[in-house]
Amino acid sequence: DAGVIQSPRHEVTEMGQEVTLRCKPISGHDYLFWYRQTMMRGLELLIYFNNNVPIDDSGMPEDRFSAKMPNASFSTLKIQPSEPRDSAVYFCASSLSGFQETQYFGPGTRLLVL
Amino acid sequence: GDSVTQMEGPVTLSEEAFLTINCTYTATGYPSLFWYVQYPGEGLQLLLKATKADDKGSNKGFEATYRKETTSFHLEKGSVQVSDSAVYFCALSDRYSSNTGKLIFGQGTTLQVKP
Instruction: Tell me what the mean pLDDT of segment A90-113 comes to.
Output: 90
Instruction: Tell me what the mean pLDDT of segment A2-10 comes to.
Output: 95
Q: β-pairing, A42-50 with A53-56?
A: antiparallel
The yes-or-no verdict on residue A2 having pLDDT over 90 is: no
What's the pLDDT band for A101 if we cut at 50, 70, 90?
A: confident
Inspect the interface and report whether the beta carbons of A105 and B45 lie closer than 8 Å. Answer: yes
Tell me the CA distances in angstroms from A94 to A69, A104, B100, one per residue in order: 12, 5, 14
A81 touches chain B (CB under 8 A): no
Of B42, B46, B107, Cβ closest to residue A42: B107
The rounded distance, in Å, linking the Cα atoms of A56 and A50 is 10
pLDDT of residue A99: 66
User: In terms of residues, how long is chain B?
Assistant: 115
A48 touches chain B (CB under 8 A): yes
Closest residue in A to B40 (Cα) is A107
Q: Write the DSSP assignment of chain B as a string of letters.
A: --EEEE--S-EEEETT--EEE-EEEE-SS--EEEEEEE-TTS-EEEEEEE-STT-EEEETTEEEE-BTTTTB--EEESS--GGG-EEEEEEEE-TTSTTTTPPEE---EEEEEE-
The yes-or-no verdict on residue A1 having pLDDT over 80 is: no
Tell me how close the Cα of B48 comes to any Cα of chain A, in angstroms.
9
Inspect the interface and report whether the beta carbons of B101 and A100 lie closer than 8 Å. Answer: no
Closest residue in B to A102 (Cα) is B46
Four-point Cα dihedral B69, B73, B77, B83, nearest 10: 180
The yes-or-no verdict on residue A91 having pLDDT over 60 is: yes
Give the number of other Cβ atoms within 10 Å of residue B76's Cβ.
15
Of A30, A95, A106, Cβ closest to residue B43: A106
What's the pLDDT band for B97 if we cut at 50, 70, 90?
A: low
Of B32, B45, B105, Cβ closest to residue A99: B32
The rounded distance, in Å, linking the Cα atoms of B95 and B30 is 7
pLDDT of residue A97: 75
What's the pLDDT band for B57 if we cut at 50, 70, 90?
A: very high
Pick from A7, A13, A32: nearest CA to A86:
A13
